[in-house]
Amino acid sequence: MEQTRADSNESESQLEAWTVAPLNMPPDARGLRLIGVIGPGTILLGLSIGSGEWLLGPAAFVQYGPTLLWVTTAAVILQTVLNTELVRYTMYTGEPIFAGFMRTKPAPAFWAIFYSLLAFLQVGWPAWAGTAAGAIFYLFIGRLAGANDADAVYQIGVATFLMCVFILLFGGRIERTLEILNWILVVFIFTGLIGLSALFVAPAGWLAGLAGLIGFDLNARAFNFLPTGADWSLIGAFAAYSGAGGIVNLMLSGWARDKGFGMGAVVGYIPAAVGSQRVHLAHPGSVFPINATNLKNWRAWWRIAQFDQWGIFGIGALVCMLLTAVLYIEFIQPGKDIRGLGIAAELANAMATRGGVMMTYLVALLGAWILFKTQLDILDGMVRAVTDILWTGSARVRAWRGGDVRVVYYAVLAVVIAWGMIALRLTQPLVLLELGANISGIVFVIAGLHVLYLNTTLLPVELRPPLWRRLGLVALSGFYGIFVWLWLMGGFIPDPAKGFVFRFLR
C-alpha cells in the first residue's frame, strides 16, 4: 500500500511531514506472552538500579536517613507519567521524542544542538564504568580503593568501558540485546536484594524504610522531608536519579521505537554492526489515520505500554530503592560520606564481619555487574539519541555511505569512546555522576513541558493525554525545578558558600 503524506500541524518545522500507514495489531500479550512483548521498561529499570539505587540513593540515605525515600516515591510516579507520554508520541508517530522536539519552533537545528548538549553534559561521562571499576578492584584486591589506587581504577574503568563497546558491536537488533541483558540483571538484582534484606535487615529497619516512603521519621515521630543544612548537590542528584533521570528517560522513546511499539514497527530500527543485515530507518515518522480499527489497536498497544512502565519500571524502581536503602542503613554507620573511588563496594566491605567472605564478594560482584550494565545502556542510549537527531535533521548524514544508519551510529560511538578515555581522567567518577545527575534535573524541567506541548498540539484529539496526565507533566517540571534551585543556589535562600552557580562563577 503506497503511503501518503500526513496533513497535520507537525509541518510547522522544516522536517519532512509524516507519512501515513495503518497501525498494526499488537502481538498476543496474554499471560506470560506479555514478557516477550514488553522490554523498554526493563532497560530503563536496569538503568535506574545502576545510578540511583546503587550509588546516589545509598549515599543520601547513609548521610540523612530513610525519610528521603519520599523523594523516590514522588520521583518514580512523576517519571512514569513522563515515560508513558514519551511512548504515546512514539507509538503514534514512530519517531523518537528527539525528532518530535525538532518539529517545534524555533527550528530543528536549535533543538538538535540543545538536547545534544544536555545529553553530553548529563551522560557524556563514563562515570558508571569508573564506579564499576571500584567494585572490580575490591573483588581482586580485597579492599576498598583509595586515592593511591587511582591509576589502577582508571585502567579497570577503561577496560570496562571498552567491554561495553564490544557488546554493542554484536547481535541483530541492539535494543533486543539490551533487553535480554536487563532481564538477567533485574532478576539477579531482585533475587539478591530480597535475599540479603530478608537475612540481615531488622524489623525496625523495614519499618523505618516503609515510613520513609511518605517522609515520616519514626524516631522523631514527625514528617521530615528535607534535612537541614544538607549537601544540596547530593540531594538534587539523588532526586534526579530516583528512577531513571532526564536524558535517560528520553532515551526510552528510541528503545520503544526499535522494539516496534505502535508505529515503531513501520519505520525500522538501528541494527548492530556484526550479525545483522542493513535495515532501512525512515527519517520522517509514520502516523495512522483515526478510525475504529486503528483506535482499537491503539488501545491494545497502550495497555502494553502501561504495563511496561507502571508494572515494570515504576514498581521495580520504587521497590529496589527501598531494598537498597534498608540494606545500606543496616550495615553502614549513619552520617558517613561514602562518596569515593570505592563507593560501589562500600556495602560489600561493610558486610564483611556479618556476612562472611562469600557473601561479601557476592555483593561486590552484584555492584560491579549493576554498574557495568548501566554503562552499557547509557552508552547505547546516548549514541542512539545523537544518531536519531542527526538522521532526522540532516539529509547529508542520511546520504553518507549509502544511507546505512549503522555507519552513523558507530561513527558517533567512536567519538564518544575517544572522549570517554579523557573524561575518566578528569576527576573521580562519582563527581562526574553527581554533576550529570543534577543536569538531568534541568532536563526534566524543560522536557516535561516540551512533551506536554507535543502531545497536546501535534497528536490527534482522540490520542491526546487527559487532564490528570497534563497536570502530572507540569508537576514533574515543578518538582525538579525545586531541586535544581536548591542545587544552583545552595538552599531556598541563596547561599554563596554552597550554591553551584556561585562556586562556578568564582
Highest average pLDDT, of 233-247, 465-479, 487-501, comes from: 465-479
Residue 148 or residue 275, greater confidence: 148
∠ CA 472-437-185, nearest 5°, is: 85
CA-CA-CA-CA torsion sign (369, 373, 374, 379): positive
Cα torsion through 457, 112, 50, 39, rounded to 10: 50
Q: What is d(CA 114, CA 225) in angstroms, rounded to the nearest whole number? A: 33
Q: What is d(CA 52, CA 320) in angstroms, rounded to the nearest whole number? A: 10
Q: For residue 217, what are the β-bridge partners?
A: 222
Q: Which of 168-172, 225-229, 309-313, 438-442 has the lowest mean pLDDT?
A: 168-172
Domains of the chain, first to last? 20-475 (1.20.1740.10)
Q: What is the pTM of this model?
A: 0.89
Q: What is d(CA 238, CA 246) in angstroms, rounded to the nearest whole number? A: 12
Structure confidence at residue 5 (pLDDT): 47
Cell numbers found for residue 324: 537498597
Q: What is d(CA 303, CA 436) in angstroms, rounded to the nearest whole number? A: 33
Structure confidence at residue 401 (pLDDT): 62
Residue 112 or residue 6, greater confidence: 112
Model confidence at 343: pLDDT above 80:
no
Mean pLDDT over 343-354 rounds to 77
3-state secondary structure 67-115: HHHHHHHHHHHHHHHHHHHHHHHHHHHCCCHHHHHHCCCCCHHHHHHHH
Q: Which of 181-190, 211-220, 301-310, 317-326 has the lowest mean pLDDT?
A: 181-190
Structure confidence at residue 210 (pLDDT): 96
In this prediction, residue 485 has a pLDDT band, given cuts at 50, 70 and 90, of very high
Model confidence at 25: pLDDT above 80:
yes
Model confidence at 26: pLDDT above 60:
yes
Q: What is d(CA 357, CA 365) in angstroms, rounded to the nearest whole number? A: 12
Highest average pLDDT, of 46-50, 307-311, 327-331, 342-346, comes from: 307-311
3-state secondary structure 370-439: HHHHHHHHHHHHHHHHHHHHHHHHCHHHHHHHHHCHHHHHHHHHHHHHHHHHHHCCCCCHHHHHHHHHHH
Judge contact between 131 and 51, C-beta under 8 A.
no
Model confidence at 1: pLDDT above 70:
no
Model confidence at 453: pLDDT above 50:
yes
List, for residues 172-231, the tens digit of each pLDDT value: 566 677 788 878 878 888 888 898 889 889 999 999 999 999 999 998 899 999 988 889
Mean pLDDT over 23-43 rounds to 84
Residue 30: CB atoms within 10 Å: 7
In this prediction, residue 468 has a pLDDT band, given cuts at 50, 70 and 90, of very high
List, for residues 227-246, the tens digit of each pLDDT value: 888 899 999 999 999 988 89
Model confidence at 4: pLDDT above 90:
no
Cell numbers found for residue 254: 528510541
% of the chain beyond a pLDDT of 90: 39
Mean pLDDT over 442-448 rounds to 97
Q: What is d(CA 343, CA 431) in angstroms, rounded to the nearest whole number? A: 12
**Is-cis flag, bond preceding 271, omega within 30?**
no
Residue with grid cell 542545587, as numbered in its chain: 487
Q: Which of 407, 305, 398, 344 is nearest to 160 (CA)?
A: 344
For 19-37, the DSSP string reads EE-PPPPPPP-STTHHHHH
Structure confidence at residue 481 (pLDDT): 97
3-state helix, strand, coil in the chain (%, to 5): 70, 5, 25
The H-assigned helical ranges of 142-270 are: 150-168, 174-200, 203-212, 232-240, 247-259, 264-267
List, for residues 161-171, the tens digit of each pLDDT value: 888 888 877 75
For 175-189, the DSSP string reads HHHHHHHHHHHHHHH
CA-CA-CA-CA torsion sign (373, 374, 377, 383): negative
Q: What is d(CA 409, CA 126) in angstroms, rounded to the nearest whole number? A: 18
Residue 232: CB atoms within 10 Å: 25
Residue 3 C-alpha from the chain's centroid: 35
Mean pLDDT over 91-102 rounds to 92
Q: Which of 285, 290, 291, 292 is nearest to 261 (CA)?
A: 285
Spatial neighbors of 379 by CB under 8 A, at least 6 apart, are 126, 161, 164, 165, 168, 413, 416
Q: What is d(CA 217, CA 224) in angstroms, rounded to the nearest whole number? A: 6
| pLDDT, averaged across the chain | 85
In this prediction, residue 362 has a pLDDT band, given cuts at 50, 70 and 90, of confident
Structure confidence at residue 65 (pLDDT): 92
Structure confidence at residue 179 (pLDDT): 80
